[in-house]
Amino acid sequence: MFFTPPKTQSLFSESSSSICDPFFYEGLVRKAGYGLIAGVDEAGRGPLAGPVVAAAVIIPQGILLTGIKDSKMMTEKARDNAFPVIHDQALAIGVGVVSHRYISKFNILRAALEAMRRAVLAMDPQPAFLLVDGIQKVPLPIPQRCLKKGDQLSRSISAASVVAKVYRDRIMRSYHKMYPAYDFTKNKGYGTRTHLAALKRYGPSPIHRLTFKGVLQVD
């Protein structure tokens, strides 16, 4: 059972908008007295194979990380180039990986939240406040705020989305060497036409999520 953090005083009015400031929400949190603010995001909820990976990133005040945005809006080359820049300029980064076995045993939502929890706990120093992509809070007793499409609104969350995506993609490339028939280098575990065709021909690999539709029953 997950810990439910106590409700914190709302820092954001319903009409609040980042306008064009990628640090708008970080600024509001700092005005409320919080110092170390981590953006948290995950990658890999939708694939049929492999882990779900989350990242948490604290960007020091004054560091802009220009060009970093929602990882889905960046090319693979741009993400790969941004990855070391984020690591060089961030104050702290944490990564959490939750396996396909955990996903199959519980469910993908719980696995994603667990990956986020692990990512935050891996940080040094620990954050005082979390800005979380989505609508589900991280199961930790840390003040936090969920932001729908947060990876497009907060540079801290954007950076976390890039770290999580690149980290997971590298894992899937490693799995491709073990299970080349599924072409994980290209599809990263997502249900592309060639991936589904491989599943139909060979059946699931040891890293497939057996509870996901399309893994065991392929037309």
pLDDT in tens, the chain (219 residues): 444 444 554 666 544 555 589 999 999 999 999 999 999 999 999 999 999 999 999 999 999 999 999 999 999 999 999 999 999 999 999 999 999 999 999 999 999 999 999 999 999 999 999 999 999 999 999 999 999 999 999 999 999 999 999 999 999 999 999 999 999 999 999 999 999 999 999 999 999 999 999 898 644
Helices (H) and strands (E) in the chain, counts: 8, 5
Task: Burial-class residue 142 by CB neighbours within 10 Å (0-12, 13-18, 19+).
Answer: buried
Entry pTM: 0.92
Residue 195 is predicted with a pLDDT of 97
- Dist CA 211 CA 214 (whole Å): 9
Alpha-helical regions (H) of the chain: 24-31, 76-89, 100-105, 108-121, 150-153, 155-178, 184-187, 193-202
Write out the DSSP string of 139-160.
Answer: SSSS-EEEETTHHHH-HHHHHH
Residue 14 is predicted with a pLDDT of 47
Going from N- to C-terminal start, the domains of the chain cover 24-178
Residue 20 is predicted with a pLDDT of 82
Superfamily the domain 24-178 falls into: Ribonuclease H-like superfamily/Ribonuclease H (3.30.420.10)
- Dist CA 150 CA 154 (whole Å): 6
Placement of tokens 């970093």 in the chain: 68
